[in-house]
A and B are shown apart, each in its own frame.
Chain A
Amino acid sequence: MASCNLTASNVAIGACVEIETTNGLSARGVVISFDTTRKVLVLDTKEMAINKPMIRIFNSEHLKNIKVLSEALEESEKFARAKTEQFAQNNPVNGTRTTERLDKTLGELTPNLMKSPAISIRGQQAYLQLKRTIPDTCWCGEDIRVLGLVLVHKPYEVSDVTKDAKATGFDESRAESAVLQVQKILSKPMTEYTARAPLDFTIGAIVAN
């Protein structure tokens, strides 16, 4: 993967730049932050959002081209640094807040962790198929649990879907509806799912009024 060489001299904070990613997408904005060590470029793509500020964070390794449209001016540099300071204030790097964020992230990711190393590829595919449209999907040992009502057992085919009658608050009617939908999802060939490659390799986007 070819990428352009970014240095501090051509990516000054406050400069207005136009970039193109290796995926062929372009963006234009004011440089808010550039970290050569972490390879992160942050742009305020104000023009793109038609006067609505949208901060976009790029992995600089995935940038194909960068063109400086205007050099950094004192005013724009001041604006950029103010944005960075505001972001830092809103996301303090202290023990308590970091722990909170880490706990929140782990809490969101933990249900997605496979409980067994013996899960087949088909099982992993089935999990992703279900998780895609039913967020309340998690691993339960080697089974996939959906909405707390349905279990998908090995080998994770349509015929392996059952109601989880032992679940707390089990409801027969709702479980039956859920089984039908889960079976419908699993019956869809994986080839019908279009690959969802990141369009512009953006690490994140922050919309701010």
Chain B
Amino acid sequence: MSGAEQQQIVPANNGDENWKAGLNLPAKDRRFKTADVTDTKGVEFEDFCLGRDLLMGIFEKGWEKPSPIQEASIGVALTGQDILARAKNGTGKTGAYCIPVIEKIQPALKAIQAMVIVPTRELALQTSQICVELSKHIQLKVMVTTGGTDLRDDIMRLNGTVHLVIATPGRILDLMEKGVAKMEHCKTLVLDEADKLLSQDFQGILDRLINFLPKERQVMLYSATFPNTVTSFMQKHMHKPYEINLMEELTLLGVTQYYAFVQEKQKVHCLNTLFRKLQINQSIIFCNSTQRVELLAKKITEIGYSCYYIHSKMAQNHRNRVFHDFRQGNCRNLVCSDLLTRGIDIQAVNVVINFDFPRNAETYLHRIGRSGRFGHLGVAINLITYEDRHTLRRIEQELRTRIEPIPKTVDPKLYVADQQLVDAADETTA
């Protein structure tokens, strides 16, 4: 008897819709959403035949309808196919893989059954939180394991039941090589921000890591950018991956991009002007080095504005506290290095400022994707020096986008939440 015959086929939800009446739904987000997340064929989450407990988690998280990448990806992922998915920043990639991953886990099997690898510790924390919230009605044990934390704690947790691991590559590889993390039943692997994970920054760790997994496994890669380095990994470790590309246009529809020509010594003054004139809910300010992050944070404090700062050289407990507190809205401005370029999702961020202009289009794309999350509106402002002028034009051409001179007054409708609210009828049309 095959596995398919052994498992009983139970119709999803048994046709009972009364369960929806008891959902503890969050307040509806009435902000306008762009076509980046609304341009779908009308599929509903129920159409994927998900279990009721997972559906409850999805709706209680405030996710109402699948975004385009979720619509295109979830159904295929549930069939066990390898996937290579490309979609814009902030359009629901995390949901696109978390939902099928959670759906396929059997809580009764007390073993690691799925693993999500992400490039940064902050992203691991964020992703695990999403998984925990989605699986709140399921007896699922989610574990985060990253560098910078006590290895003994991870070992102790792995001695208990863990179904899903969210990890950065180095730590989980260490645990595997020590025999602590047993992967015999781990048949699902997700690489989020896959191009970063497969870059030289991680020097082939993924090749070593995947060898610990069963040969019969599903591999899913998600990112907004996929360079050629991914091809080699695909050929070695993926079986006829189903490819999804939702990036005919590269930059987010909801993010308006501006630049201001300034001299280096004028940047702080310009930043001060932006703070005074813009209606910032929360902002992320990027610098090109850890040293400049700390220097700028000090300057911002001196001119009378509150800010946190974070970069990769900080102690992990400090990083965690800063990340948590900023996410909670305890501070309006966060100065950071490219540590937070990838995947960080803070809905309250409506302004991104490139205090230092990035050197390549990929970094630029990911940086400005920290605002305008899930189809909402935001602005990205670039402080451009004379030396940056050619880089600006090159990135503009590479991304086929427009970066306009910043006007004297930025229209609040472009980025302020209160200006984006839509009525019910308008929302349907949008």
Give me the interface of A with B, judged by CB distance under 8 Å.
Answer: 24-27, 45, 48-52, 54, 132-136, 146-149, 158, 169, 171, 173-174, 176-185, 187-189, 191-194, 196, 199-200, 205, 207, 209
Contact = CB atoms under 8 A, between A and B. Distances in A.
A49 B79 contact: no
Contacts of A180: 4, 7, 9
Nearest to B239: A171
B274 interface: no
Contact of A184 (B12, B43, B81, B254): B12
Contacts of A189: 11, 15
Contacts of B426: 26, 48
A202 B75 CA distance: 27
B240 interface: yes
Contacts of B430: 48-49
B414 A51 contact: yes
B76 A173 contact: no
B254 A25 contact: no
Interface centre among B75, B240, B254, B413 (most CB of A within 10 A): B75
B420 A50 contact: yes
A50 B419 contact: yes
B261 interface: no
Interface string B333-361: 00000000000000000000000000000
B302 interface: no
Nearest to B3: A176
Leading 5 A-B pairs by shortest Cβ distance: A177-B80, A133-B75, A178-B79, A173-B216, A181-B79
Given A26-B429, A176-B80, A184-B12, 18 more contacts: A25-B425, A25-B428, A26-B426, A48-B429, A52-B377, A134-B75, A136-B76, A147-B76, A147-B79, A148-B240, A174-B81, A184-B49, A185-B49, A187-B49, A193-B47, A194-B44, A196-B42, A207-B34
B75 A158 contact: no
A183 B15 CA distance: 16
Interface residues on B, range: 35 or more
B13 interface: yes
Contacts of B78: 181
Nearest to A187: B11
Contacts of A45: 429
B9 A49 contact: no
Given A132-B43, A189-B11, A49 B32 contact: yes
A12 to B, nearest CB: 23
B2 interface: yes
Interface string B289-327: 000000000000000000000000000000000000000
A133 B79 CA distance: 11
A184 B425 contact: no
A45 B74 CA distance: 32
B48 interface: yes
A134 B79 contact: yes
Given A171-B239, A184-B9, A188-B12, A179 B429 contact: no
A171 B80 CA distance: 11
A132 to B, nearest CB: 6
A59 B402 CA distance: 32
Contact of A51 (B81, B411, B422, B428): B411
Nearest to A161: B4
B32 A50 contact: yes
Contacts of B41: 132, 196
A189 B39 CA distance: 26
B240 A169 contact: yes
Nearest to B32: A50
Given A51-B414, A173-B216, A187-B11, A133 B402 contact: no
Contacts of A174: 79-81, 218, 239
Contacts of A25: 425, 428-429
B48 A133 contact: yes
16 contacts: A48-B429, A50-B413, A50-B420, A54-B35, A133-B48, A134-B75, A136-B76, A136-B242, A173-B80, A173-B216, A176-B2, A176-B4, A177-B218, A180-B4, A192-B13, A207-B253
Nearest to B254: A52
B46 interface: yes
Contacts of A192: 13, 15, 46
Interface centre among B10, B402, B429 (most CB of A within 10 A): B429
B277 to A, nearest CB: 18
